[in-house]
Chain A
């Protein structure tokens, strides 16, 4: 599969602050690629370089084979951008906002009129197309920005925190749309919602201090951290009295007592039968496998401190 994005030793500094530090990444065409990282990790700087809004200090960034330093116009023809801020023109109606964007892309009027009709219908905004953005809800604004980014049929879509501030229904609507276009274009998604990344992305890169610190599918990332399976065992009585028996087992990694529940990390899942044997006769109410979340991976890699 060819690459939509390749960066090699990409570096950007703001004074003494290193925003990107010899950053290397390859994004396959047609994938949904998530960029995760705490505030100030370098995600926005990376997006701004890839969308030609900013120049790197050194290193190379190729978008669909075009160098961001010399082929900005060619790259901008191929990309659609949903920025963090809606950046809609409040003095133009929704339709006029889309028309302006189409003209900036040099689309012929006949083609863009039809495409705008399609997108407004798809996004559920056709009835409100002649209203000004100020009268829209947060979800409608976001859908309009997504429509604008898709108007010229980009090969690459950058979604910079596309669902921040949206209610669950609107968030689901954006997710559904992203899933529906997956495969037809490459999607680069930055988000603070780890659930969103887990739901949508084929591959995820975790960035911190301008460096790539982990890369893989959500499952691969989770497997990398867990090392073993984590089970929650709920007893009818206080868990502490059963914990002693479990602590003696060699295959128990960590053990934690939370009231009536004992959380054990097993070095391998086969160890579960030994645990059950050790609990022979105990009043066990429930045993559940606790799936490690992406959030745990994220926190373990980037730390818990506020940025």
Chain B
């Protein structure tokens, strides 16, 4: 029977480490999206003007917050799991205690998820502080309906990569070839209407489109797209099951 005592203990450990390094980490985490926001959102404002009825700086804001959150969730999960498994061997020290492999992997998914939310929130606060845009609590809540499964989904994806990949360069390639392109293709910086009509149905099927487009529609326009939310939650659930299964299988090998 699973008691989650191991999950809580490992998650608490990860949060203690996050608390210790939060300030320097936040500076690094905020710098990247903020630079993009200043360059594109403000620097290009005069050239781009309005996109889908809103200023371009407002159009890209939800995507940048979401990108920071899911990137942080993925990075924390993948690198943490890889580091604890291949460098520090701490996963092995957890596995000789009376907890299950599922408790370990769920803790790591939760930690990645928490990292994503904390870092996404930090970027949101900075963007809200430097722009005049304000959102109603209802918009923010429906935005969270997308951000929460989005962070969970990327955390699970990170766990799968961190479990299967033994070489750090392979993880780097996955980030460059899959993660970043998927985000950018999902309308982070441009409206989906820019795609040719033939490709658009495929793009709409991507869980990252459900995340970025759904999150923007929720935060900027207050429109809750149930289909996107459903796609996101189902994908997150599938990846969660896969992450737990793959981790358990790898550990028993």
Binding site for B on A (CB under 8 A): 51-55, 73-74, 76-77, 79, 81, 83, 85-92, 96, 100-101, 103-106, 148
Contacts and interface: CB of A to CB of B under 8 A. Distances in A.
Interface of B: 3, 5-6, 8-10, 12-13, 16-17, 20, 88-90, 92-100, 252
A103 B89 contact: no
Contact of A51 (B5, B6, B96): B96
10 contacts: A81-B96, A87-B88, A91-B17, A92-B16, A96-B16, A100-B13, A101-B97, A103-B12, A104-B9, A105-B98
B12 A76 contact: no
Nearest to A103: B9
Contacts of A86: 89
Nearest to B9: A103
A237 B46 CA distance: 104
Interface of A is mostly: loop
A192 to B, nearest CB: 20
A37 B6 CA distance: 35
A90 B89 CA distance: 11
Given A85-B89, A91-B17, A103-B9, 15 more contacts: A51-B96, A52-B96, A55-B252, A73-B98, A79-B96, A85-B92, A87-B93, A88-B88, A88-B90, A89-B88, A101-B93, A103-B5, A103-B12, A104-B98, A105-B97
Sorted nearest first, the 5 A-B pairs with minimum C-beta distance are: A103-B9, A104-B97, A87-B89, A87-B93, A76-B98
B229 to A, nearest CB: 36
Contacts of B252: 54-55
A106 to B, nearest CB: 5
Interface of B is mostly: helix
A87 B89 CA distance: 5
B60 to A, nearest CB: 35
Contacts of A103: 5, 8-9, 12
Given A91-B17, A103-B9, A83 B92 contact: yes
Contact of B90 (A52, A89, A106): A89
A100 B92 contact: no
Q: Considering residues A76, A100, A104, which has the most beta carbons from chain B within 10 angstroms of its beta carbon?
A: A104
A86 B9 CA distance: 20
Contact of B17 (A74, A76, A85, A92): A92
Given A53-B95, A83-B93, A101-B93, A89 B100 contact: no
A79 B97 CA distance: 8
Contact of A104 (B6, B20, B92): B6
A55 B97 CA distance: 16
Q: Considering residues B8, B96, B97, B98, which has the most beta carbons from chain A within 10 angstroms of its beta carbon?
A: B96
Given A53-B95, A79-B96, A104 B16 contact: no
Nearest to A83: B92
Given A92-B17, A96-B16, A104 B88 contact: no
B6 A87 contact: no
B12 A104 contact: no
